[in-house]
Amino acid sequence: MNENATRPIGVFDSGVGGLTVANAIRQVLPNERLIYFGDTAHLPYGDKSKETIMGYSARITRFLLDQQCKVIVIACNTASANAYETIVSESVDRALVVDVINPVVEFVTAGSKYKRIGVIGTKGTINSGTYVGKIIARNPHISVESLATPMLVPMIEEGFIFDDISNAIIRTYLSKPELSQIQALILGCTHYPIIKNQINKFFNFEVDVIDSSRIVANHLRNILVTHNLLNQNPDPGHKFYVSDFTDYFQAISKLFFEENIALEKINLWN
């Protein structure tokens, strides 16, 4: 086994959303040790400038590299869309980088199952045009419609889920003409899987609702195998950091990660 295989995997997001990806990684790769960073002090990333997102992402990447992470998983669509090159530059020769957009693009463009795809995400993700550009580049015969849904992340972070308020907001967004007659909907934000069932119900389960978590986890496994970095020794010592404690983080993190997790606050911007 490669001596670097026992190093941890770093995962980061603007808040709790990336825990959906972390949980999928834990299930697909049970021997791997995770170090998670939720930048709750600066969420949501979706309404920040590209330069600001790049700055936050670069600092978090340096922190995860200092923890000797062998892979940096950008478990945030906005950071994946706006700061991927920055993170790769920071990580060069020190860690591999996996984002949450490219694996999903490869998944939806494989074969000819979908002719019309919708994408929802933050303003930062949608305005970047990353999903549309990458999907069409791989398969120009697919029609892609994107819609910014900026209220969903703060709604989820504040705990408005499974209630009339969240249902009304979801219905208002998904009723937009941009998403009419789609065959698949990409959840272009790692927060959105928590409301996946509500989205499925809106479409009467007739649209394939695609979240990135399991797709990214399987892609990561392939990367580790290819680079001989798959850890063969069980190491469950996961660590979870946040840049600021929020009242709802602990409760909602249990929904995402399916167990209680111990959070440690650390300010990288002192």
Phi, psi values for residue 113, rounded to 5°: -70, -40
Strands 34-38 and 208-210 turn out to be unpaired
Indicate the pTM of the whole model.
0.92
Distance, in Å, from the CA atom of 29 to the CA atom of 190, rounded to the nearest integer, reads 19
Domains and CATH numbers, the chain: 3-99+214-265 (3.40.50.1860), 102-213 (3.40.50.1860)
Distance, in Å, from the CA atom of 12 to the CA atom of 34, rounded to the nearest integer, reads 10
Residues annotated as catalytic (active site), given as ranges: 76, 189
Phi, psi values for residue 55, rounded to 5°: -65, -45
Distance, in Å, from the CA atom of 169 to the CA atom of 150, rounded to the nearest integer, reads 10
Helices (H), the chain: 19-28, 50-66, 77-91, 102-109, 123-128, 130-138, 152-157, 164-174, 196-202, 213-226, 249-257
The whole-number pLDDT of residue 1 equals: 65
DSSP collapsed to 3 states, 190-244: CCHHHHHHHHHHHCCCCCEEECCHHHHHHHHHHHHHHCCCCCCCCCCCCEEEECC
What tens-digit pLDDT sequence spans the chain (270 residues)? 688 999 999 999 998 889 999 999 999 999 999 999 999 999 889 889 999 999 999 999 999 999 999 999 999 999 999 999 999 999 999 999 999 999 999 999 998 789 999 999 999 999 999 999 999 999 999 999 999 999 998 898 788 888 899 999 999 999 999 999 999 999 999 889 989 999 999 999 999 999 999 999 999 999 999 999 999 988 778 999 999 987 677 777 777 777 778 889 999 987
The whole-number pLDDT of residue 86 equals: 96
